[in-house]
Structure 1
Amino acid sequence: MTKEKVLSIRDLSIAFKTSSGLVNAVRGVNLDLYKGETLAIVGESGSGKSVTVKAIMGILSNNGKIKSGTIEYTYEENGEKVTKNLLDFSKKEMRKNINGKHIAMVFQDPMTSLDPTMNIGNQIMEGMRIHYKTPKKEAYAKAVELLELVGITDAESRMSNYPHQLSGGMRQRIVIAIALASDPDVLICDEPTTALDVTIQAKILELIQSIQRKTGISVIYITHDLGVVAKVANDVNVMYAGRIIETGTVNEVFYEPRHPYTWGLLLAMPDLETKADKLESIPGNPPNMEHEVVGDPFAPRNPYALNIDLRLEPPMFKISETHYAATWLLAEDAPDCPLPKELQERIERMKREDERYVGTDETYTFSEELKAAL
C-alpha cells in the first residue's frame, strides 16, 4: 500500500545573523512525513532539530533567514487535496491559516506555552473559536472531551484552573490538549518530556501514541534520547551539525546503524544489563557553526575517521531503499569497519528486549526497563 505523504522538506538551509557572525544552523535538510506515522529527529543540542521544525511552523526568530529549500505541505482545502510551499506564507498567514488548524506544536516547557493569566478552559477553546468560529457552548464541550482524552481526571472542574495550580505532567497534558483542539493533521513534539520525571515521561509517550491511533494524526518527534525514539517512531533522522547524517526506519537505525555518530548515540543510552560501570559518551564537542564546514564535521570526534573526512564532506550513501548514511566508511573503496563489539552486544540486548516486551502492532506497554532508561 502506497503511503500518503503529508510533509516534504527539500534542501532546507537556515542561517542566523549574530553579533559574532553568521551561524549556518541547518544545511540542506531533506525529510518526509507520512500520514499516521511518527518521524523522529534525533541529535545533540545545537544540531538543528528545533530550528528545522520552527521553520515548518513559520516561527523562526527575526534574525533567522531561509537560505534555500522548500517545505511542501499537503492538506485538504475546500474538500480538495492541495500542496503548498509553507515558505511562501508570511508569518501572519501561517498563524491564520496553518498553525494550530493544520500543524500544531507541543514545546519542551509547558510553562512557556501556557498563559498564566488565563484559565486552561479558555486556552483550549481559543483555537477553536479563532479558526472555526465554534460557538462557545460547543467549544466548551469539546474542551472537556479533550481533557478527558489526554487523561485529566475530573475534567470539567479543571477547566477553571490556572497553570500554576497544576503539576508539570498535567500542564504538559494541557499543552497537548490545546495542540489538538483545532484537529490538526500534524503534531510536532519538541522534546515534550524532558522536564518530567521518568514515570510521567512514559505516560506522556503512551498518551501521544494513543491519540495517534485514535485520530490518525502524523507526528514529528524531536529528541536527543534514542531510548524514547525506539518506542514511538516509524522512521528516524539523525542530525549533526545542521545536517541529517543517517536516515531510515527505526529498525534500520537501531539494529543496522552505519554512521559512527549513530553508534555513539546508541552506546550512550542507559542500559540495565550492561556490565560497564559508567555510561559511554562521545568525546569532544559539536563544531562551531559560525565557521565554514570543511570535510566531515564529525571527523574530529570520530575514532574511525579517514583522511578524506578532513577534506570532503560525505554525501548520503544508499544502504537500502529507506536507509541512507553520510559517512565515507560506506564508500566502495573504504576499509572494512565493523560495528564496535560493545555496540553489537547492545543491539542484541535491544532485540531481546523487543521480543520480550513488544505486543501487537496496535498496542505497546512500556516496560519497567524502558521507564528506567527514559
Structure 2
Amino acid sequence: MKENVLKIRDLSISFKTDSGIVNAVRGIRLDLFRGETLAIVGESGSGKSVTTKAIMGILSSNAILNEGSIVYSYKENELSHSVDLLTLSSKEMSQTIRGQRIAMVFQDPMTSLNPTMSIGKQVMEAMIYHYNYNKKEAFEKAVELLERVGIVDAEKRMKHYPHQLSGGMRQRVVIAIALSCEPDILICDEPTTALDVTIQAKILELIKDIQVERNISVIYITHDLGVVAKVADYVAVMYAGRIVEKGLINEVFYNPKHPYTWGLLLAMPDLDTTSEMLYAIPGTPPSTTQGIVGDAFAPRNRYALNIDFRIEPPLFDAGGSHRVATWLMDERAPKIEMPKELSQRIDKMKKEAGLV
C-alpha cells in the first residue's frame, strides 16, 4: 500500500477584489503519496499556485476558504498523525508545519532570499528556529547542505550575500534552505523558469536525486510540459480553478482525453514540426469573477457540444487512475479523435521513451 501524505478534498477558494469575488479554486481533489512527484499544470491564473499557498498556509488576507480540507499525514515517534492544515492558525503552521514538515522553493530566488542577510545565516535560520541548534551545529549542517546541493567552496559562500551569486547558485541555496529541516513534502513553484536551459536540467536532476535519497514527496507547479515529462509520476491539469484531467504521467501524456490537454501538448515546441507557426489555444481563459456556467473551456473548445455551455462536466473515469472532465467522455457523445498532428507527436514521444 502506498502511503498517502497529503489528501486534498473539495478545496474551494475565492478572493475578495475591487472587481468582485474571484473564484480561484473550484472544488479540487488530489492525493500525494510518499516518495512520489505530483505535477500541477496549467496556464497562469488556473489556480495552481493558490492551491499550494493553501497547503503552506500563506494565502493572502483577502482569501476566502469556501469549503474543503487538506489532510497532511506524518509520523512522529513511530506514531501516525493526521491534521487538516486548513484548521491550523498561522502561528501553528509556522511553528509545526511550514519549513519544518512542508517546504517550498519559489520561482525567483531573489524574491525569496533576504538581500541583507548572508547566505549562511539564511540557511541556518530554520534549523535554529525549529530544532534549537546552537550556532556551531547549524553552521556545520548548513555547509553540508550547501555542498549537497552542488555549491563549490561552501564554507566560503556562507559569508556571501545573494547578489554575489549567479541565478543557478541562488536557486541551489533556496533548495538548501527548503531541505534544512528535512521536510516530508517539497513544493516547487516554477523552480527553473528564471534559469537558462543547462542550469534548469541540473536543478531538476538535483531535486530528483534528493527526493530519492530522502524519500520525500514533491509537488511541481509548472506550465512547462517538458519539465513534467522529466520529473512527474502523476499529473493534474488545471483550468479556471478546476482539475480537467489527471492521472499517471503515461496516462495523461500518451493518452490525453481533454481538448485543453491536447492544446497544451500541441503548443510544446518540437524540432520536427512541419508547421511554420507554433500552435496556440485560441481565445483567453474566462474571468472567474462571474459564475461560470457549463464547461469553462467551452468557448475555446472547437469540439464543444451544446451541453458544454449549459452544464459543467463531471470527472469521467478513463481507466486506471485517469480522470477527465469533458462531456466528450460521455457514452452518448460523438467520438472525437485527438488531432492527427498530436497523435503523430505522441507516437514519436513513445518511441523516444522506449515504449513501442
> TM-score, structure 2 length as denominator?
0.98
Q: Deviations over 1:83-121 (max 9, x none)?
A: 110011011110111001100000111111001111011
Partner amino acid for 1:139?
A
Partner amino acid for 2:227?
V
In the alignment, which residue of structure 2 is the partner of 1:325?
324
Cα distance in 2 for residues equivalent to 1:41 and 1:346: 22
In the alignment, which residue of structure 2 is the partner of 1:231?
230
Alpha-carbon shift at residue 277 of structure 1 (Å): 1.7
Cα distance in 1 for residues equivalent to 2:20 and 2:32: 33
In the alignment, which residue of structure 1 is the partner of 2:151?
152
In the alignment, which residue of structure 2 is the partner of 1:371?
none
The alignment partner of 2:257 has SS state of: coil
Cα distance in 1 for residues equivalent to 2:158 and 2:335: 61
Matched, 1:347 2:319: no
Cα distance in 2 for residues equivalent to 1:335 and 1:126: 59
Task: Report the count of equivalent residues.
Answer: 355
Partner amino acid for 1:67?
N
Cα distance in 2 for residues equivalent to 1:38 and 1:179: 16
Matched, 1:51 2:37: no
In the alignment, which residue of structure 2 is the partner of 1:195?
194
Report matched runs for 1:67-86 at 5 Å: 67-86=66-85
Cα distance in 2 for residues equivalent to 1:104 and 1:343: 37
Q: Which has the higher mean CA deviation after the structures are superposed, 268-277 or 291-300?
A: 268-277
Report matched runs for 1:87-98 at 5 Å: 87-98=86-97
In the alignment, which residue of structure 1 is the partner of 2:39?
40
In the alignment, which residue of structure 1 is the partner of 2:221?
222
Partner amino acid for 1:81?
S
The alignment partner of 1:93 has SS state of: helix
Cα distance in 2 for residues equivalent to 1:136 and 1:71: 35
The alignment partner of 1:192 has SS state of: coil
Cα distance in 2 for residues equivalent to 1:63 and 1:92: 18
In the alignment, which residue of structure 2 is the partner of 1:206?
205
> TM-score, structure 1 length as denominator?
0.94
Partner amino acid for 1:342?
E
The alignment partner of 1:227 has SS state of: helix
The alignment partner of 1:355 has SS state of: coil
Alpha-carbon shift at residue 79 of structure 1 (Å): 3.2
Cα distance in 1 for residues equivalent to 2:64 and 2:168: 35
Unaligned runs of 5+ in 2: none
Alpha-carbon shift at residue 76 of structure 1 (Å): 1.8
Report matched runs for 1:288-307 at 5 Å: 288-307=287-306
Alpha-carbon shift at residue 77 of structure 1 (Å): 2.7
Partner amino acid for 1:243?
R
Cα distance in 2 for residues equivalent to 1:18 and 1:297: 21
Partner amino acid for 2:222?
T
Cα distance in 2 for residues equivalent to 1:16 and 1:321: 35
Cα distance in 1 for residues equivalent to 2:326 and 2:102: 33
Report matched runs for 1:9-48 at 5 Å: 9-48=8-47
Unaligned runs of 5+ in 1: 357-374
> What's the Cα RMSD here?
0.9
In the alignment, which residue of structure 2 is the partner of 1:310?
309
Report percent identity of matched pairs.
68
Alpha-carbon shift at residue 353 of structure 1 (Å): 1.8
Cα distance in 1 for residues equivalent to 2:158 and 2:288: 45
Alpha-carbon shift at residue 145 of structure 1 (Å): 1.0
Partner amino acid for 2:145?
L
In the alignment, which residue of structure 1 is the partner of 2:106?
107
Alpha-carbon shift at residue 245 of structure 1 (Å): 0.5
Matched, 1:282 2:255: no
The alignment partner of 1:23 has SS state of: strand
Cα distance in 2 for residues equivalent to 1:77 and 1:89: 18
Cα distance in 1 for residues equivalent to 2:323 and 2:231: 20
Alpha-carbon shift at residue 273 of structure 1 (Å): 1.6
Cα distance in 2 for residues equivalent to 1:174 and 1:308: 50
